[in-house]
Structure 1
Amino acid sequence: MPVSNLTLVERIARVLAGRDLSINAEGDDPSAGPNVDESWHEYTDDALSILRTMREPDRKMASAGDVDTWERMVEAALDVERAVSGT
């Protein structure tokens, strides 16, 4: 499985920024890439909220794999963000 060079928080924040900005979603920018690059930081709090919600898998997710591993992976993503932000 490929491993991203970006943190999970940044990837989620970029998706949220893209949805707001891109004409392909809810925005009006036909070429939103550069604007997403500049503004994704503004979506970090929303991305963290989403990630915190994902800490606990639902029943279907839990039946598909190891719940403890899932929780550790999400917590690791949150820990990376805490280290980056200094909180």
Structure 2
Amino acid sequence: MPVSHLTMVERIARVLAGRALSVNADGDDPSAGPSVDETWHEYTDDALSILRTMREPDPVMAAAGDPDMWERMVEAALNVERAVGSA
């Protein structure tokens, strides 16, 4: 399985920025990549809120795997962001 080199929070924030800026979603920029690179930090709070919501798997997710492992993985992603934010 591929492993991303970006934190989960950054990945979510980049998606949110892309949705806001790109003409392919809600924005008007036909080439939003550079703008996303510059502004994704502005979406970090929203990304953290989404990630906090994802701590508890739904029944379908729980049936597919280990719900305790899922919670630990999401908590690990949140802890990385806490460590980065406090540095």
Question: Normalising by structure 2, what TM-score?
Answer: 0.98
Partner SS for 1:5: coil
By how many angstroms is 1:37 displaced? 0.2
Matched with 1:67 is 67
RMSD over aligned CA atoms reads: 0.9
- Give aligned pairs, total: 87
Matched with 1:81 is 81
**Deviating 4+ runs (over 6 angstroms):** none
Question: Normalising by structure 1, what TM-score?
Answer: 0.98
Question: 1:49 & 1:80 partners in 2: Cα distance?
Answer: 15
Runs (5+) with no aligned partner, structure 1: none
Matched with 1:29 is 29
- Percent identical residues: 82
Question: 1:59 & 1:5 partners in 2: Cα distance?
Answer: 29
What is the one-letter code of the residue matched to 1:10?
E
The 5 Å alignment of 1:18-57 reads 18-57=18-57
By how many angstroms is 1:81 displaced? 0.2
By how many angstroms is 1:77 displaced? 0.2
